[in-house]
Amino acid sequence: MANNLPSGWMWSDHDPAKSIEEKIKQAVQRYHAKFGQLPNTCYVNQRAIDSDGQQVGEIRVVRMPNILPNHFLFTKEETDGR
């Protein structure tokens, strides 16, 4: 069974001195500057976090096995009521 990647914007940050939260926050700022809106979901390598559903600010962080380590896939997913 294949895991399909959602459409979005990929960011990579290989700086070992930064926490995953710092990397996501910096990428969100860049996403906002580039697209004029904020993402609401970030897909990360399954080893990057302990469980799905973690939050970094307003960003939902989800594990996915086919995201490379130190890479972050940001999306603006539809939610109920929007």
In a domain, 31, yes or no: yes
Give the H or E element holding residue 34. Answer: helix 20-35
Which among 76, 79, 78, 74 is positioned nearest to 28, based on CA atoms? 74
β-pair partners for 73: 10, 43
- Confirm whether 60 is domain-assigned: yes
Average pLDDT score over the chain: 90
Q: Is residue 52 part of a domain?
A: yes
Domains in the chain, number: 1
Neighbours of 72 (CB within 10 A): 27
For residue 8, tell me if it sits in a domain: no
pTM given for the model: 0.87
- Stretch 31-37: mean pLDDT: 96
pLDDT greater than 80 at residue 46: yes
Do the Cβ atoms of 43 and 75 come closer than 8 Å? yes
Domain membership of residue 2 (yes or no) is no
What six digits make up the tokens of 77? 């997913």
49 found inside a domain: yes
Task: Tell me the residue range of the domain where 62 lies.
Answer: 19-75
What proportion of the chain, given as a percentage, has pLDDT over 90? Answer: 78
SS3 15: coil
